[in-house]
Structure 1
Amino acid sequence: MENGEAAPVPRVAVVVFLLKGRSVLLGRRRSSVGDSTFALPGGHLEFGESFEECAKREVKEETGMEIEKTEFLTVTNNVFKEIRKPCHYVTIFVRATPADSEQAPQNLEADKCDGWDWYEWGNLPKPLFGPLERMVNEGYNPFPLPL
């Protein structure tokens, strides 16, 4: 790279489909990547952290909510070349439910999110964050199949 900059390297994110009934928790991003789009709670995996630990920590940091055990769903490979500072994320998607279904999400990181709300899966707000939008358009469904 020029100017002594290190080459960008992929980072790992853990993102949570937090489910309540047939709704999913989404917040409007305030970020250089996907600004003003609706996204799931989540964030960077820290060194030595499990996917479940990261999911619980990120949901708590962003919304104040505790979550039940997580379940691995899928992984995506996301390269953002069209932004000022290109980046590459390997994103781990997990599913969870709130530990307390009556607890309302709080916006604890107002510099990163405009607020959280529950949205019916069949009536999601727009625009969605790119990786989530691709999953939705491909027919992905985070809800467990009935037994």
Structure 2
Amino acid sequence: MERSAAVPGVAVVVFVIKGNTVLLGKRRSSIGDSTFALPGGHLEFGESWEECAARELKEETGLDIDNIEFLTVTNNILLEEAKPSHYVTIFMRSVMVDPCQIPQNLEPNKCDGWDWYPWNDLPKPLFRPLETMALSGFNPLPADGK
């Protein structure tokens, strides 16, 4: 069997939790265009998952986060996309340093804007890695509700 020269990418996404809601944005991208997704992006060489989550969130929304922790990982082969891809997606969870801070859309060419959505009533359609995680029954909200 011949191996492809393409290799999987590593993405780090972050659930920013506010009560029972999570921060989502509507993607503008060749992968998952017009789907709702978590903030995040590519892991850079030498970067920890926590550093990547904080950096990507700051670049995309201007928010500062704290208590960043690993939740789970998914393997996503997206062959039906305009640009077929394969991503290992690392899901992190955090809270905002300042709970009154409002997310800004700092990359309008990549996102239509950010908003808070109840975990039990997510918008549709979801970006496939998030949809896969949600359909599996995984719940990103802290067990203690904080």
Q: TM-score range, shorter-chain basis?
A: over 0.9
Q: For structure 1, which runs of at least 5 residues remain unmatched after alignment? A: 1-5
Map of 1:31 onto structure 2: 29
Q: In 2, are the aligned partners of 1:52 and 1:69 still within 8 Å (CA)?
A: no
The structure whose residues are more often strand, as a share, is 2
Residue 84 of structure 1 and its aligned partner are, at CA, apart by 3.2
Q: Secondary structure at the match of 2:77?
A: strand
Distance 2:82 2:101 in 1: 38
Q: Partners in 1 of 2:47 and 2:135 — Cα distance?
A: 31
Equivalent position amino acid for 2:89 in 1: T
Q: Which moved more, 1:84-93 or 1:94-103?
A: 84-93
| Aligned-partner residue type, residue 29 of structure 1 | R
Aligned length: 142
SS in 2 for 1:97: strand
Query: How far is the alpha carbon of 1:27 from its aligned partner?
Result: 0.1
Q: Match of 1:43, as an amino acid? A: G
Q: For the aligned residues, what is the CA RMSD? A: 1.3
**Where does residue 80 of structure 2 map in the other structure?**
82
Tell me if the contact between 2:9 and 2:42 (Cα under 8 Å) persists in the aligned partners: yes
Q: Secondary structure at the match of 2:65?
A: coil
Which of 128, 131, 136 does residue 130 from structure 1 map onto?
128
**Matches of residues 1-147 of structure 1 in structure 2 within 5 Å?**
7-146=5-144
Task: Output the CA distance in 1 between the equivalents of 2:40 and 2:144.
Answer: 26
Question: What TM-score comes out, normalization by structure 1 length?
Answer: 0.93
